[in-house]
Structure 1
Amino acid sequence: MYTFDVIYKLCIIMKKPSSSKIFQELVKKTSYKDKVNSNLISLTNMTFFLGAGFSKSWDLNYPTGQELFSLDRDDISDDFFEFLLSIGYTDLSSIGFNEFKEIAYQISMQKKYPSLRRRYIDEYNLEIIENEISSIITKRFNKLVPLNYIEDASHKLKLEKSPNQNQKNIVAFFNWLESHKTGDTDQIPEGLRINFITTNYDFLIESILDETLGADDTHLIYAYRGFTPKTTNKVKTPTTVHRHWLVQNLIKLNGGFEIFGSDEQGFSVDYTKKSAKDLDRKAPTLILPNREQDYTGKYFQTIFPKAVRTLQETKILVIVGYSIPEEDALIRLLLRQFAEENVDGTEKVIFFIDMMNEETQIQKLESVFPYHNRARKRYNIIPFEGTFNDWVNEIIALNNNAQHRI
């Protein structure tokens, strides 16, 4: 009953409590801190669903899909060039985002339906071309925002050496959340648990987590990715079976620059720096944007059920920088697993942080959760019109004010 209780009490005290104030109060309510007589605090799963806007909140140089998948002639390798000529592209001075999605669509359809393959196309050169494209995209991303690969044996990802104030506040925000997670040693999961589901390829959320865990720990010990890597940073994976009282989920729906298909069955995670030749030989696993999004590959089939379960077990969902576009039909269906039916939304709450106006945010969420409408008030939808930085800065200010009052 705690979600509705907290929101209801705030609404009595304040005519229209802010999104940041409601969030702050929910974190305090679900925390294991200040337990009375060591009573067990029920486990509360909070999941952040992160889109490209989250990375842009950290650094505006992080690209959108439009920016990342619009290729210049210099980006196009010889193998990719020959493939493009074979499917009828003659003007190759550049490739726009819509053209990229059409090319990815043609590749996926020829993989899926062998009878559609052109005379000299087979499953093996399709694999080569897909690897080539993933290599191109990885190298292009590094031109726009250099990836922060691990630099030493600690296996910790490093953030900028001179962070700006917004970046410091984002780290402080996740540090604050980290302080409310269970600190007990009785091996019973309780209090607040923070999970992440992201459509981004980059390492940003992992780097922030490594920053909050202190000098000795790394997210690799505590984060379950929806699959168990064969190797991690070229050595045996440190944890093959996670323990429920310690672990959080970190699931990348579209793959990531650190995820590589194994020569055997399975995948590996590798945050070490790659040369251009390394990437050409073995590119990371990326699900590319497509005119008819293709999620039939082994990676997505592996992690999708884990993402579904994470959302089903989530009480507090925070959507950051993801606009829930209509063309992302499967991702919208995935989000709906948070509250598939009207009864599933009881005692659940959604925070939506985006530059869209509040009315549009509500309409977007109601299109995903058709059982919800404002008349029924069965779900708590709490919009915030602004950037993630704006929202975080409000919470930091609230926390600072609370400390001054003590």
Structure 2
Amino acid sequence: MTKLSSSKIFQEIVKETSYKNKDYSKLISLTNMTFFLGAGFSKSWDLKYPTGQELFSLDRDDITDDFLEFLLSIGYTDLSNIQFKEFKEIAYQISMQKKYPSLRRRYIDEYNLEIIENEISSIITKRFNKLVPINYIENASYKLKLEQNPTRNQKKIVSFFNWLESHTTGDTDQIPEGLRINFITTNYDFLVESILDETLGEDDTHLIYAYRGFTPKTTNKVKTPTTIHRHWLVQNLIKLNGGFEIFGSNDQGFVVDYTKKTARDLDRNAPTLILPNREQDYTGKYFQTIFPKAVRTLQESKILVIVGYSIPEEDALIRLLLRQFAEENVDGTEKVIFFIDLMDEQTQIKKLESIFPYHKRARNRYNIIPFEGTFIDWINEILSINNNA
């Protein structure tokens, strides 16, 4: 028997779980599919999107006066640049001094630590904009726009998600059925939202259908379109590390704002970003709010698609989060994991077995489907199958 390719298996699963061409008099069970996206996903859209190594390696021009004073206070003297490893050490020192007041230096307190954290988030937002301009909303519209002249690969990515969207529920009886697409991402950018807005057409927006794990006080400076989502309509879009559009508000909640900010705006109130750290710090209110929602999304999903995330050893909590997709061996028997990465397939399987160790003991009972290649390679195969079907 010929072994089916990853792309063929995926295409058949979508067809099987779709509401299309089914007996509409019968209930079609809801199937949650979750895309878990790392920096490689954004790279597949445009190579200019930075990796962590690129984004968090700072030039001297990036370092502001307040940040400079903090660096000098903790012993940094060579400030011609800051490499990624050094950045993680600096973020670690900040998080430890926040967490343990007795460790704070003579002239460090909770308030200037907040100022420094805001300063760093502002620096990172500006640096990202230098590397690849963020597609802010510049008018009253709720819709995010993609590039005016998309590349061939960008068109294919949109076509792929258009195809998936066409298989999600079209029911009108307010019962969730068929396929549902969710997203959990480690990225700060707006790419997922922009693709969703593109697939929804001219007169619709992801803001009505995408639950972010928290309800913003306002969206783009006006009342949020919906404060309570309807289960038959909603999909999850959870940003584990925060995002360039998420801001803390004075009354302890969060607001979502995709409008363009000036440098002065960012210095005054920078986005909520969880910064890379030698010992990753996920104790803040934002992460504590969205983490249980990410856990529940994975637990309720039957299909997990990991794209552009290499499952590094140091991301201990994220690895534990992924484990919630199939916490015990019985949980994994009816679930499927697709892993798309440039690593060879055996390395991919070993990475996943380090999270799901029971797969190694009974490999033939679990559905781990690796793909060695880029996300573009993978969707090219799927779109080709669809065109020839």
Q: Normalised by the shorter chain, which TM-score bucket?
A: over 0.9
How many Å separate the matches in 1 of 2:23 and 2:327? 35
Equivalence for 2:224: 237
The Cα of 1:37 is off from its aligned counterpart by: 4.9
Q: 2:72 aligns with which of 75, 80, 85?
A: 85
The yes-or-no answer on 1:108 pairing with 2:81 is no
Query: What TM-score results when the alignment is normalised by the length of structure 2?
Result: 0.99
Equivalence for 1:398: 385
Q: 1:325 aligns with which of 301, 307, 312?
A: 312
SS of match in other structure, 2:237: strand
Equivalence for 2:266: 279
Equivalence for 2:22: 35
The yes-or-no answer on 1:227 pairing with 2:221 is no
The yes-or-no answer on 1:67 pairing with 2:46 is no
Equivalence for 1:270: 257
Equivalence for 2:173: 186
SS of match in other structure, 1:107: helix
Say which is worse superposed, 321-330 or 145-154, in terms of deviation: 145-154
The Cα of 1:150 is off from its aligned counterpart by: 1.0
Letter of the structure 2 residue corresponding to residue 155 of structure 1: Y
SS of match in other structure, 1:373: helix
**Residues 332-383 of structure 1, C-alpha deviations (whole Å, 9 max, x = no match):** 0000000000001121000000000000000000000012126442320000
How many Å separate the matches in 2 of 1:328 and 1:378? 27
How many Å separate the matches in 1 of 2:363 and 2:185? 30
How many Å separate the matches in 2 of 1:222 and 1:344? 28
Say which is worse superposed, 303-312 or 366-375, in terms of deviation: 366-375
How many Å separate the matches in 2 of 1:357 and 1:18? 15
How many Å separate the matches in 2 of 1:252 and 1:140? 20
How many Å separate the matches in 2 of 1:286 and 1:248? 23
**Residues 138-182 of structure 1, C-alpha deviations (whole Å, 9 max, x = no match):** 000000000000132221000001111110000000000000000
- The answer on whether the counterparts of 1:342 and 1:378 sit within 8 Å (CA) in structure 2 is no
The Cα of 1:129 is off from its aligned counterpart by: 0.1
Letter of the structure 1 residue corresponding to residue 373 of structure 2: G
Letter of the structure 1 residue corresponding to residue 150 of structure 2: P
How many Å separate the matches in 2 of 1:156 and 1:344? 38
Letter of the structure 1 residue corresponding to residue 279 of structure 2: E
Equivalence for 2:125: 138
Q: 2:162 aligns with which of 175, 181, 188?
A: 175
Q: 1:303 to 1:37 in 2, by over 3 A?
A: closer
The yes-or-no answer on 1:346 pairing with 2:333 is yes
- The answer on whether the counterparts of 1:105 and 1:291 sit within 8 Å (CA) in structure 2 is yes
Equivalence for 2:104: 117
- The answer on whether the counterparts of 1:51 and 1:321 sit within 8 Å (CA) in structure 2 is yes
The yes-or-no answer on 1:54 pairing with 2:31 is no
How many Å separate the matches in 2 of 1:296 and 1:371? 30
Letter of the structure 2 residue corresponding to residue 53 of structure 1: G
How many Å separate the matches in 1 of 2:67 and 2:120? 7
Equivalence for 2:239: 252
**Residues 24-75 of structure 1, C-alpha deviations (whole Å, 9 max, x = no match):** 0000000001112521110000000000000000000000000000000000
**Residues 194-230 of structure 1, C-alpha deviations (whole Å, 9 max, x = no match):** 0000000000010000000000101000000000000
The yes-or-no answer on 1:18 pairing with 2:2 is no
Equivalence for 1:7: none
The yes-or-no answer on 1:383 pairing with 2:370 is yes
Letter of the structure 2 residue corresponding to residue 189 of structure 1: P
Letter of the structure 2 residue corresponding to residue 312 of structure 1: Q
Letter of the structure 2 residue corresponding to residue 254 of structure 1: N
Q: 1:112 to 1:399 in 2, by over 3 A?
A: same
CA RMSD of aligned residues (A): 0.8
How many Å separate the matches in 2 of 1:162 and 1:91? 43
How many Å separate the matches in 1 of 2:190 and 2:358? 35
**Residues 294-341 of structure 1, C-alpha deviations (whole Å, 9 max, x = no match):** 000000000000000000000000000000000000000000000000
Query: What TM-score results when the alignment is normalised by the length of structure 1?
Result: 0.95
SS of match in other structure, 1:377: helix
Identity of aligned residues (%): 88
Kindly tell me the number of residue pairs found equivalent between the two proteins. 389
- Structure 1 residues not aligned, in runs of 5+: 1-11
How many Å separate the matches in 2 of 1:96 and 1:157? 33
Equivalence for 1:217: 204
Letter of the structure 2 residue corresponding to residue 257 of structure 1: F
How many Å separate the matches in 2 of 1:220 and 1:86? 43
- Structure 2 residues not aligned, in runs of 5+: none
Equivalence for 1:363: 350
- The answer on whether the counterparts of 1:56 and 1:63 sit within 8 Å (CA) in structure 2 is yes
Q: 1:373 aligns with which of 340, 360, 376?
A: 360
Equivalence for 2:113: 126
Equivalence for 2:189: 202
- The answer on whether the counterparts of 1:188 and 1:245 sit within 8 Å (CA) in structure 2 is yes
